Structure 1
C-alpha cells in the first residue's frame, strides 16, 4: 500500500499551513497514495505565546482541521494529521493528532501523552507543560495502511507506550514530530529504528524541517522504517512530499521470525536494600 509523507516548515499563519497540507493531499492522490501523513504542529508553529495563542481555537473552529477534512473527502485520501494546537474547554491547550478517512470523517484522536520540558546544552529551553495538558490514553485505529498506533514526537522516548500500542494490535506506528536539531542529530534515527524493531512494526515519522518563521530550527529527516529496522525512506532536510510502500506481509514475516510480542511477560522487580 502506497503512503505519502509531508515534510513541512510550518509557519505562524494557520491558513498558509492549511494550504500546504491540502496541496499535499491533492499531490498524494495524483501519485497513487491511499494515505498522507503530516508532522506535529502542521497547523501552527509559533513560540511567541501571545501571537500564537491568538491563532489557536477549539477543535470545532479550527480552520486547518476543517480544510483538511474537506480536502480528504474531495480527493478520497485518508490523512493522519500529525497534530494541531487546539484550545480545550478548560482553557488549557492540547497537542492533538487526528486520523481522517476518505470521506472527511474523524476516525481517531490522540492527545500527546509526554510533554517536552527540557533544557538543552545549546541554551534552548522548552516548557511544553506551561501551556499544554497531557493526554491520558493511547489510541489505535484501523486504516488502509494497517492498524495504526498514534503518538507524537517526545513520546518516541517512552518504549512502554509502543509496547502498549503493539499489544493492542498496531502494525504501523505513527510518530509525527518537530524534533530540534541537536536531539535529532543524536537520537532520531536510532530511536525510530529501535521502536520499529521492538514492535515488529512499520514506523512512519513525518517531520518538521528547516528554519521556521518564529526562529526555531527543526531536524527534518522524515522516515519510514520497516519492521526489521531497515530505512525505507529518509527525506533528508528538504520540505516536500515523499512516498513509500507498506507491505503487511513484511510485518507477519518479521514477527514470525522473531516472535517477541508472543514472548512478552510482566516482570516483577525485587528491590534489595544495601
Structure 2
C-alpha cells in the first residue's frame, strides 16, 4: 500500500470487489499475506470516445487475418484506449481470443494490418518483420515549402532514430544508421488548396523504427499533412478525427508462414486530401 503510486485511500479502493486477484482469480484482501506470491491488478477502464469500427477484411485463412484499419483507431490496448482498439474489437466481433497483431500500425495511420489467428505461426510471421523480409509501401500527402521541393527530395533518407521513454516524439540523433526510407513522388506536380501547397509521395520503409516515416519527412522539411506530433506536438481531442494524419499503409507483402507462398495485401482506402488524379479508379 505504501509503494502504490496513489494515496492510501485510493489504493484501498482497489481491494474492494474483485479489482485485485490472485493467479486463480480469487479476490485478494488487504489482510492477506502476500510475501513470495503475486497479485494481479485489473485497472478500471477509462471513458473512451467512440472510434471508427470499420475493419474490412482484405484476406483470411486458418492462420492469418488482414484488415484495412481506419485512421484514429489504435491497433492494441494502450494508454486510455482499451475497448476502442482494433485488436479488442476484432477479438469480440469474431470471438477469436488468439488473434494477435504481427506488427504495429500507429493509431494515426490507416491501412493494411496483419494479425495471426493461430499462435503456432505467430513467431514465424514476426520474424519476417524483424529480419526485414517483408515489403511495405505507404502513401502520404506532405506540406511543401515551394513547388520545386517535390523534385528536389532525395531518393532516400537514412539516419538514426531513437525515441525516449515518456516522450511523444521520436527524433534523429548522431550514430549508426538504423532507419532507411525510400522516397518517390507519386506525381511530379504539387497542388494547392486554401491551406497550402501539397505533394503526394510513395514511401518504402526498409526498417521499422517508431514514427520512422513521420520523423524522416519532417527532417526533410516536408511534414505529413495534419500530423499532430511533427514538427510540433499539439493538444487534441482524442475523439476528434476530422483531420486524420494523411498517411496510408497502402500495401504489405509477406511469405505465408505455412505454405511459403508470396502474398501481397492492398488497402482500399484513400487519403482524404489526396489530389484527385491519384485517387484509385472504382
TM (norm. structure 2) is 0.26
Structure in which a larger fraction of residues adopt helix: 1
The TM-score with structure 1 as length reference comes to 0.27
Greater gyration radius: 2
Relative contact order higher in (CA < 8 Å, ≥ 6 apart)? 1
